């Protein structure tokens, strides 16, 4: 039997107890900072040799030259042609939908002239080269390849470098096929902090990139945090999360499997169910107990649910929305009859799935929106990965004579007030006739 923590908003100590549960739901990870720091230092100083050593130690993959760590394009195409037709078709259809959605996100350059005839604007350009980290631990994630590479392609990134750990030299062929479908330029069979360091600083074989995206374990996350500033990063990903809001119109088995779909990611995954109907909470819990034995990853699911799952009874959907906003979940399902009305009350969520026929899993794979999302309540201030993460903006200013004369007086006055005489005189020069 699953052990699920139950809460009720009517309980006297609900706010205190639920807040404490959320806090405990985000425990401090084991500190791996020194280990990661040493790995980064070794890669920076020893380059390819350090990569080969770490790959042998951690992935049990022995190579004599770093060039052997690169998987050629011919292998990507071979994987694409040899996987079964249904899987190939699914990858291609997913890629098309992700691209169609990404095309809507593109930022465009713009400009205008002020009343003095000066030109002001913004120029949008793509990053030159990005690195994509694809996990290779308890499961393979070809979907992550698509979600990271396709927006970069749409943005116009010149070169996409993918890294993925290959324990014992093995890599899922669907991951390679996804790289082919997404148009990844180069793929290297390396992982962990050493892969992040190689992407950030470059080695004799692996070129340095401008930004690193994609999820990974605590070593990868820590490495991304440490190299930020030398390169850009997308975010520091935490455990997977889903919060489901449902009413008495929901389907218990559907909700149960939606919760399981996140719990099976990892023993640290967080699942939360909020409902206006106490009977529905009971039905979902019963469905979870009935369905669990059928699942291959039931041990992972059980540990996740027993440790981090919570069911919350609320009196109305407004209370449900308030709880969701407090949690700021990575994934939010609105499995209610009035999803459109409830949407207006939601302020913080990475991705929102509306209605009974919209499970979170569609977003994971193929609907179109990106599945790289803010976790651990960071949806309060951050957004899903998108094309805009692979574009940068430059401001443009071209002053007319009249415009310069106007700005000269304003700028000089403010510069003198800050005690910056050279600033002021630089402005005044442009104001002289």
| Annotated catalytic residue 251 | no
357 an active-site residue? no
Report how far residue 121's alpha carbon sits from residue 111's, in angstroms, rounded to the nearest whole number: 4
- Please tell me which residue in 331, 333, 360, 371 is annotated as part of the active site: 331
Cβ within 8 Å of residue 63, ≥6 positions away = 52, 55, 56, 69
Closest CA to 374 of 239, 212, 223: 239
Select which of 241, 285, 330, 360 is catalytic. 330
Q: How far apart are CA 210 and CA 156, in angstroms?
A: 14
Q: Please, where are the H alpha helices in 83-168?
A: 85-103, 142-155
Say how far apart CA 181 and CA 146 lie, in whole Å: 8
Tell me the three state secondary structure of residue 392: strand
Q: Which of 187, 180, 215 is nearest to 95 (CA)?
A: 180
**Extended strands (E) in 47-86:** 70-71
Neighbours of 235 (CB within 10 A): 20
Handedness of CA 378, 381, 386, 389 (dihedral sign): negative
Give, in order, the Cα–Cα distances in Å from 233 to each of 23, 199, 222, 325: 26, 11, 12, 26
**How would you classify the pairing of strands 241-246 and 270-275?**
parallel
**Residues recognised as catalytic:** 330-331
């Amino acid at each position: 039997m699953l052990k699920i923590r139950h809460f009720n908003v009517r309980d006297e100590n609900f706010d205190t107890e639920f807040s404490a549960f959320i806090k405990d739901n985000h425990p401090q990870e084991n500190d791996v900072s020194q280990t990661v720091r040493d790995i980064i230092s070794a890669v920076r100083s020893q380059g390819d040799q350090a990569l080969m050593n770490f790959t042998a130690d951690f992935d049990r993959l022995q190579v004599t030259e770093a060039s052997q760590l690169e998987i050629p394009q011919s292998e990507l195409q071979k994987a694409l042609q040899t996987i079964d037709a249904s899987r190939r078709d699914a990858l291609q259809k997913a890629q098309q939908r992700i691209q169609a959605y990404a095309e809507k996100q593109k930022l465009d350059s713009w400009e205008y002239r002020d009343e003095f005839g000066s030109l002001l604007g913004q120029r949008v350009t793509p990053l030159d080269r990005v690195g994509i980290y694809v996990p290779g631990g308890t499961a393979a994630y070809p979907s992550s390849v698509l979600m990271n590479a396709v927006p970069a392609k749409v943005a116009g990134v010149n070169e996409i470098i993918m890294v993925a750990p290959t324990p014992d030299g093995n890599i899922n062929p669907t991951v390679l096929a996804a790289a082919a479908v997404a148009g990844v330029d180069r793929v290297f069979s390396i992982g962990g902090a050493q892969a992040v360091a190689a992407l950030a600083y470059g080695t004799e074989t692996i070129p340095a990139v401008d930004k690193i995206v994609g999820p990974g374990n605590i070593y990868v996350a820590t490495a991304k945090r440490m190299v930020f500033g030398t390169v850009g990063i997308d975010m520091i990903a935490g455990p997977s999360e889903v919060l489901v809001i449902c009413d008495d119109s929901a389907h218990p088995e559907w909700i149960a499997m939606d919760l399981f779909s996140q719990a099976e990611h990892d023993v640290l995954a967080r699942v939360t169910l909020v409902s206006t109907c106490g009977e529905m909470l009971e039905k979902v819990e019963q469905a979870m107990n009935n369905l669990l034995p059928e699942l291959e990853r039931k041990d992972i699911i059980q540990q996740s649910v027993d440790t981090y799952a919570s069911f919350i009874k609320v009196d109305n959907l407004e209370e449900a929305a308030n709880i969701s906003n407090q949690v700021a979940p990575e994934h939010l399902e609105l499995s209610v009859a009035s999803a459109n009305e409830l949407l207006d009350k939601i302020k913080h969520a990475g991705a929102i799935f509306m209605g009974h026929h919209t499970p979170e899993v569609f977003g994971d794979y193929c609907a179109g929106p990106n599945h790289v999302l803010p976790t651990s309540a960071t949806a309060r201030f951050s957004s899903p990965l998108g094309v805009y993460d692979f574009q940068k903006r430059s401001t443009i200013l071209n002053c007319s004579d009249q415009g310069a004369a106007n700005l000269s007086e304003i700028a000089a006055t403010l510069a003198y007030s800050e005690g910056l005489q050279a600033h002021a005189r630089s402005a005044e020069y442009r104001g002289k006739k």
